[in-house]
Amino acid sequence: MTKAKRPRGAVAAGHRLTAEAAANILREGGTVFDAAIAGMWMACVVEPVLSSIGGGGFLMAREAGQPARLVDFFTHTPRRFRPVDEIEFEAVHADFGPTTQEFHVGLGASATPGFVPGMFAIHEQFCRLPMNRLAEQAFETACSGFEITAFQAFLLEVVSPIYKWSDPALALFAPDGALPKSGEIFRNPDLGNALEAIAREGLRIATEGEIAQAMLTDADAGCLRANDLAAYRVETRAPLQTSLEGNNLALNPPPSCGGTLIGYMMARIGINTSDDPAIVAYAKAIAATDAKWRQAKCNINTFTGNATGSDHSNASRGTTHISIVDADGNAAAITVSNGEGNGRIVPGCGFMVNNMLGEEDLNPGGLYKWRENIRLASMMAPTIATRSNQMVAALGSGGSNRIRSALFQVMCRLFREGLSVEDAITASRTHVEHGHLEFEIPPEEGDRLQLEAAFPEHRLWAEPNLFFGGTHMVRLNAEKGLEAAGDPRRSGVAILV
C-alpha cells in the first residue's frame, strides 16, 4: 500500500482560481510568497470588484524561525491637493438590499496605487521563481476567459453604478447593457496583456512607462500626476505585537488602524472576568473599542496617545485576502483593496484605478479633506499568529469596518475556545458601531437573549452574511498538521497542497 503523501502547504482565498493559482506555485516548489503573488495577480482578474493593479494592500510575512514583517504597499495621497469643484468627482449609490451606500468615483477619487510596486518589493525580498511565471496563470486566464461565480455576479450588481459609470466600463463589463451573470464566461484580454507586459518588462512600466502613462489619461480631471506614480515607495514595518492565551499575534501597525483596534479588543477580552457567554463578551469588547475609537475621532494617533505618529486618513472598502502556510512554518497573509474602482477603465489596460479619496470613512473630519503626500491607513489587518514551535497561523479578512471584529472573533474562537479553523470561521459573529449591535443568529437561544439585553439597539441577521467579513485562514499545528478554511460568507476556498 502506498503511503499517503503529507500536504506541503495550505491556501485559503476568496475565489477558486485565486486559490488554485497560489497552490500551483507551491506544487512547483515556489515559496509561500511566490504563491501569494501568483494568487494576487489572479485575484485582479477574477475578483475585479475587490482587487486591482490600481489599488494597494499589505503583506504580513513570516519566514520560518524569523520575526514577522509587515510590507505596506497601500495607496498614498497625491502630492497636490485640488479643490473638489476642479476635478471629476461624482457620488453614486450602491444597493445592498436592506440599505444603500454612497461612494464616489471619477479621476479625482483616485489615490496613488501601490499594488504593482508591492508585488515587486515582495518578489525581491522573499521569492525564488521569476515574475513572469507568477503572473502567467493570471494573464492566460484573463485572455481565455473564466466563469463568473454567483458571489462575483452579486458584487458586480451591487456596485453596478460604478461598473456602468463610463462608456469604457460599459464596453468591458456590460457591452449589451447587462453585467455578467453567474455561469457566464468573462474575458478581459487588455488586462491579460497588461499583466504580461508588467511581468516581462518589470516595475517601471507601471510607474513611469506605458501603463503609468495610460493611468494618467485625462489627468487634469484628477489629482494624480507622473511624479506621484514614480515616487511611490513600499514600506517595511515592524508589526504590532500582542498575545492571546499564550499565542503571539503579529498585527498591522500604525499608520493603519485595524491591527491596533484588534490589539485593544484582545486586551479587553483578556481582562474580562464576567460570566457572559463568549459571543456576548466579544460583542462588549467590540463595543468598548468602538466607543474609544469614536472618542478619538477615528484618529489612530489620538487612540494610541501617539502625538508624533504619522498623519493618515482611513480607508477600507472592497477587499480580498489570501492566506498561505507551508509545512516548514513559512507564512503569508496578504490583503488588498481597490475601494470599488473609480468608474474609468485605464485605456488599453482593462482595470480601474482605486477610488480611495473622498469617502466618508476615509475622512472622519469631513468629505474630501485628505492631506497631501501621506500613506492612507486602513482597517485591513493581515495577521500571523505563532506559539513557540507548535503553531503558526495566517489569516485576514475583507469587510470594511467589520474586518477588525471578524478577525478578533475568529482568533478568540480559535485560541480561547479551541475550535478548529473551519469552526472558528463559521461561528456566529457580531459587530458593534455607535452602540448598535449587528449579529448573526447564534445557536443558543440564551446567547441571543443576553445579546439583546446587553444591546437594546440591535439587528438580528437570520443567517451568515458577507456584511460580517470574509476571513480566510490557514494553520500549521504540530499535532493536527495543516488546516485551511475559506469563509463561506464570501465564497472562500481552501486547498491543501
Give 393's strand partners: 385, 475
Q: What is the dihedral of CA 17, 19, 25, 26, to 10 degrees?
A: -150
> How remote is the C-alpha of 395 from its chain's centroid?
11
**Distance, CA of 108 to CA of 82 (rounded, Å):** 9
The span from the CA of 46 to the CA of 149, in Å, is 9
- What positions carry a catalytic annotation? 319
Question: What single string gives the DSSP state of each residue in 333-390?
Answer: EEEEEEEB--S-BPTTT--BBP--TT-TTT-TTSTT-PPTT-B-B-S---EEEEETTT
Strands 240-244 and 235-237: unpaired
Please give the grid coordinates belonging to residue 1. 500500500
Q: Strands across the sheet with 430-433, in order?
A: 430-433, 436-440, 458-461
Instruction: Decide the pairing of beta strands 100-105 and 458-461.
Output: unpaired
Is residue 38 a contact partner of residue 46, using CB atoms and an 8 Å limit? no
